[in-house]
A and B are shown apart, each in its own frame.
Chain A
Amino acid sequence: MYKYIIKRLIYLIPVLLCVTLLIFTMLYITPGDPARMILGNDASDEAVEQYREELGLNDPFWTRYFRYLVGILHGDLGTSYTTKMPVAKEIAERFPTTFVMALLVTIFGTLVGVPLGIISAIKQNHAVDYLATTVGLIFVSMPSFWLGLMMIVLFGVKLKWFPTSGWYGPQYAVLPAVTVGLTGIASRMRMTRSSMLEVIRSDYIRTARAKGQTEFKIITGHALQNALLPVVTQIGMAFGTNMGGMIITEQIFAIPGLGKMMTDAVNQRNHPVVQGGVLWIAFATSIVNLIVDVLYAYIDPRLKAQYVSNKKKKAQAPKEAKAEGGAAA
């Protein structure tokens, strides 16, 4: 298993390298001159030109890109055009807020959404199922920024249960977390339900019935683990979606997280901050994906057999395991 993790970590390097190249290129072709943006419209052309030179904006593309890469290796993500602070420091201040929120929301969404999906699947075509699927679909269809604003109106202004903006304590996290979380719960539920329905119809569930097993044990002992496999693979993606969701939601609730910093930076052509932010998000998403995949390999014996080194097994049935593994994949 260590081999697998190390392999995945090594594979992360070219991916992140490509992410930097992708974002760097994208921002390179972005219209608008950062120097002009910073100095304002009143600045003279010479001043702007001099500032461009200072920032190294006049160097060729590859020179700039490699300078940036070398910087990253030294932990230097550049300097914010607007605050003149090191980008790494700004991100370090803001990233944890967004990351922890997205992570908590993902875990919460999974813990609530998965059981709801299972209940909905077991009670297929009953009132409970109709209610759960319809309500779930409504939440999936809501723009998170709209949901957030409506929450502010309802719970912040009308009911005055929770504060609506700022970041001074756990009570400030409730509304934004629920905003992103409701969508997450709904989509986890939908996934689990369809996965569970597929498993319930499968042959091995019929085998379990033919053994005389009770319905409860069939669901918990046979169906659940199989149904969770595809759900687990989606958790990494859900985390990414929640990161995106948090970034929008932070705007609404005025949370000093990565989202606010990123959107401001995009609007101000503050390229180093955008690049650094995307790189960090990509890194975090990849790590979460990696953890999820390792977890997956532990609950799916078909994958586990490929990576857990078991010499005895390999010596005995190398051919069969390979053939079957290939067919299963």
Chain B
Amino acid sequence: METNQKVKKKSRFREVAHRFAQRKMAVVGLVIFACLLLMALFAPMIAKYGEDEQDLANALAPMSAEHPFGTDVVGRDLFSRIVLGSRVSLFVGVISVSIALTVGGTLGAIAGFYGGKVDNLIMRFFDVTHAVPTMILAMCICAALGQGLFNTMLAVGIASCPGYARMVRASVMSAKAQEFVEAARANGASDGRIILRHILPNCLAPIIVQVSMGVAGAILSAASMSFIGLGIQPPAAEWGALLSGSRAFIFNRPNLVFFPGLFIMLTIFSLNLIGDGLRDALDPKMKR
């Protein structure tokens, strides 16, 4: 009997990790993302030049050993700027999602848990925002708040709130319908306890998946904002801003546009792979 039970005692975390590790593409995503993360952490050591170190004599230099990605119009090393910019982009992604998850998630949880009029009010509000495409909503919020790093994060965060609210609401509602919640209520547990101890853990899987993909989406939105001149502005080394700042040289020096975009794509690609892998690993339907 002991041997029977030992097998089942694998913890949930290890089980999911094991399942995740079996998905090649997910592991590829994790490796790419880990590299990007390390790059951001040790950015000042990797970058040979400073963020604003100009060398006008060497402006618009082509790719070379000295400047692997070339230099921009005032002679700044693109590689160094991309490396340093990774900090900004990843930071923007994480903070925007935190804002969206905190505001949207909380509202969604309240709507899903209490239902009725509260639910109606909150969800009707999000219906309104639903009518305006996220990109345009972010644009308006960005315009209202003004440029800058923090405002961009806030704008992207608020604009993506409805998605998180809907997702959390749906999973709270399905968790609420489960019998263990009724059992907890029958045992006299308070609302707060029921939400924290019983409902939240059961909503975790979709939230984790949405967050990993949401960071990707937020980085993309923030870069788009920078690109149309609303978000983080040059000379800041944010990837979208780097790309947008060198747009004029697209015909002579396409590398200046290619590399920042490539890094945006790699980041988003890896996060999406991780998200896909997590969804499969966490999905109980995949179990047999």
Contacts and interface: CB of A to CB of B under 8 A. Distances in A.
Co-assembled chains A and B: yes
Contact of A153 (B143, B145, B254, B268): B254
Given A27-B144, A142-B265, A240-B133, A18 B216 contact: no
Given A26-B141, A152-B250, A266-B143, A278 B136 contact: yes
B216 A141 contact: yes
A146 B257 contact: yes
A278 B285 CA distance: 41
B224 A241 contact: no
Interface string A251-267: 10000000000110011
- Counting chain B residues whose Cβ lies within 8 A of the other chain, the interface size class is 35 or more
A284 B229 CA distance: 25
Contacts of A150: 254, 257-258, 261
Contact of A19 (B132, B143, B272): B132
Interface in B147-193: none
A285 interface: yes
Interface in B227-242: 227-230, 240
B261 to A, nearest CB: 3
A143 B25 contact: no
A266 B230 CA distance: 8
Interface in A116-175: 133-134, 137-138, 140-146, 149-150, 152-153, 157
Contacts of A15: 127-128, 131
B139 interface: yes
A10 interface: no
Contact of A143 (B141, B251, B265): B265
A274 B143 contact: yes
Interface stretch (A73-81, A227-235, A242-250, A291-299): A242-250
A145 B227 contact: yes
Interface residues of A, number: 49
A281 B132 contact: yes
A244 B133 contact: yes
A262 B254 CA distance: 27
A319 interface: no
Contacts of B216: 141
Contacts of B285: 198, 201
B132 A278 contact: yes
A274 B142 CA distance: 13
Interface string A288-322: 01000000000000000000000000000000000
**Chain A interface mostly:** helix
Contacts of A141: 216, 265, 268-269, 272
A278 B128 CA distance: 12
B228 A263 contact: yes
Nearest to B239: A143
Nearest to B268: A141
Contacts of A111: none
B251 A16 contact: no
A324 B260 CA distance: 53
B140 A285 contact: no
A26 B129 CA distance: 13
Given A137-B272, A138-B269, A248-B224, A143 B136 contact: no
Given A262-B139, A266-B140, A278-B140, A143 B132 contact: no
A20 to B, nearest CB: 10
B247 A149 contact: yes
Contacts of B264: 143, 146
Contact of A247 (B128, B136, B145): B136
A69 interface: no
Contacts of B40: none
A38 interface: no
Contact of A263 (B146, B229, B247, B273): B229
Contacts of A133: 25
A133 B135 CA distance: 25
Contact of B128 (A19, A243, A263): A19
Contact of B269 (A137, A241, A262): A137
A240 B129 CA distance: 12
Nearest to A244: B135
Contacts of A140: 268, 272
Contacts of A153: 250-251, 254, 257-258
A16 B228 contact: no
Contact of B136 (A31, A134, A149, A281): A281
A229 B128 CA distance: 24
Given A27-B140, A149-B247, A153-B250, A285 B146 contact: no
Given A141-B265, A150-B258, 8 more contacts: A15-B131, A143-B264, A145-B243, A149-B243, A149-B254, A241-B133, A245-B135, A266-B142
13 contacts: A22-B128, A27-B144, A141-B268, A141-B272, A144-B224, A145-B224, A146-B257, A149-B254, A244-B136, A262-B136, A263-B229, A266-B143, A266-B230
Interface of B: 25, 125, 127-129, 131-136, 139-146, 216, 220, 223-224, 227-230, 240, 243, 247, 250-251, 254, 257-258, 260-261, 264-265, 268-269, 272-273, 276, 285
Top 10 closest pairs, chain A to chain B, by CB: A244-B135, A146-B261, A240-B133, A141-B269, A141-B268, A18-B128, A282-B131, A244-B133, A266-B143, A26-B144
